[in-house]
Chain A
Amino acid sequence: GAGVSQSPRYKVAKRGQDVALRCDPISGHVSLFWYQQALGQGPEFLTYFQNEAQLDKSGLPSDRFFAERPEGSVSTLKIQRTQQEDSAVYLCASSLTRRPYNSPLHFGNGTRLTVT
């Protein structure tokens, strides 16, 4: 498809389990972002990649969160030892240019993570 694709769409994890969320950005898009959206809130920045380089990870809530984009296309957000407060929708977004927001940011439909 032409849009940003995220999988899985829904993920239920027991507290303490590790999860991996995948993002396929639009082909050729240089910039890739991960956002966390809690229920009833706006998305909050987690991390930013420019090609394969992770230029900003200041939004990651703890060292249990790890993101990678090894070949500058597909990205994976991994959460280790999940906790209930990790329950949220995780959104991935990509844009064409190196300078974010100079071109439109395209969001995927997100992965809804529920930690029980």
Chain B
Amino acid sequence: GQQLNQSPQSMFIQEGEDVSMNCTSSSIFNTWLWYKQDPGEGPVLLIALYKAGELTSNGRLTAQFGITRKDSFLNISASIPSDVGIYFCAGPAVSGAGSYQLTFGKGTKLSVIP
């Protein structure tokens, strides 16, 4: 099946620093989604990308849909303590019976040092 590889697995940064994380796949995606999950809660959608090359911002977050359709990155500018959590990339299967299935990466765990 489809797999999404996220890197880094974890990162520790100082408050105020910018953060960059990425997600790659061996197969193409038509949609890239970035979620954040806080402890004890479900994932919350941050940004959705629907077109190759698309660059989308949501406040301090910026995400891009790679032109090869096999990768995406998420940047967080001027990190703050509440950015702590696990960030997941995700995407639905391109077609077929599995197109209802959302495949998630294993996540990037972000820790912010005040």
Residues of B within 8 A of A110 (CB): 41-42
Chain B interface residue bracket vs A = 20 to 34
Contacting residue for B102 out of A4, A40, A41, A45, CB 8 A:
A45
Query: A-side binding surface: helix, strand, loop or mixed?
Result: loop
Interface-lining segment among B53-61, B77-85, B104-112: B104-112
When the two chains form their complex, are residues A56 and B102 in contact, meaning their CB atoms are under 8 A apart? no
The answer, yes or no, to whether B44 is at the interface (CB within 8 Å) is yes
The answer, yes or no, to whether B75 is at the interface (CB within 8 Å) is no
Residues of B within 8 A of A104 (CB): 45, 48
Q: How far is the CA of A108 from the CA of B43 in the complex (A)?
A: 8
Residues of B within 8 A of A56 (CB): 97-98, 100-101
When the two chains form their complex, are residues B100 and A93 in contact, meaning their CB atoms are under 8 A apart? no
Per-residue interface assignment for chain B, residues 44 to 81, with 1 indicating a CB less than 8 Å from any chain A CB and 0 otherwise = 11001000000000000000000000000000000000
Q: A42-B88, A58-B97 are in contact. Are A101 and B33 (CB under 8 A)?
A: yes
The answer, yes or no, to whether B40 is at the interface (CB within 8 Å) is yes
Q: A100-B92, A101-B31, A101-B33 are in contact. Are A45 and B101 (CB under 8 A)?
A: yes
The answer, yes or no, to whether B7 is at the interface (CB within 8 Å) is no
The answer, yes or no, to whether A55 is at the interface (CB within 8 Å) is yes
Q: How far is the CA of A41 from the CA of B92 in the complex (A)?
A: 17
A:1-55 near B, CB below 8 Å: 4, 33, 35, 40-45, 48, 55
Q: How far is the CA of A95 from the CA of B103 in the complex (A)?
A: 16
Contacting residue for B100 out of A4, A43, A48, CB 8 A:
A48
Q: How far is the CA of A67 from the CA of B53 in the complex (A)?
A: 38
Query: Footprint of A on B, CB under 8 Å?
Result: 4, 31, 33, 40-45, 48, 88, 90, 92, 97-107
Query: Footprint of B on A, CB under 8 Å?
Result: 4, 33, 35, 40-45, 48, 55-56, 58-59, 91, 93, 100-101, 104-105, 107-110
Given contacts A48-B100, A101-B33, A105-B45, 13 further A-B contacts (CB under 8 A): A4-B42, A42-B90, A42-B104, A43-B104, A45-B100, A45-B101, A45-B103, A56-B97, A100-B92, A101-B102, A105-B33, A107-B44, A110-B41
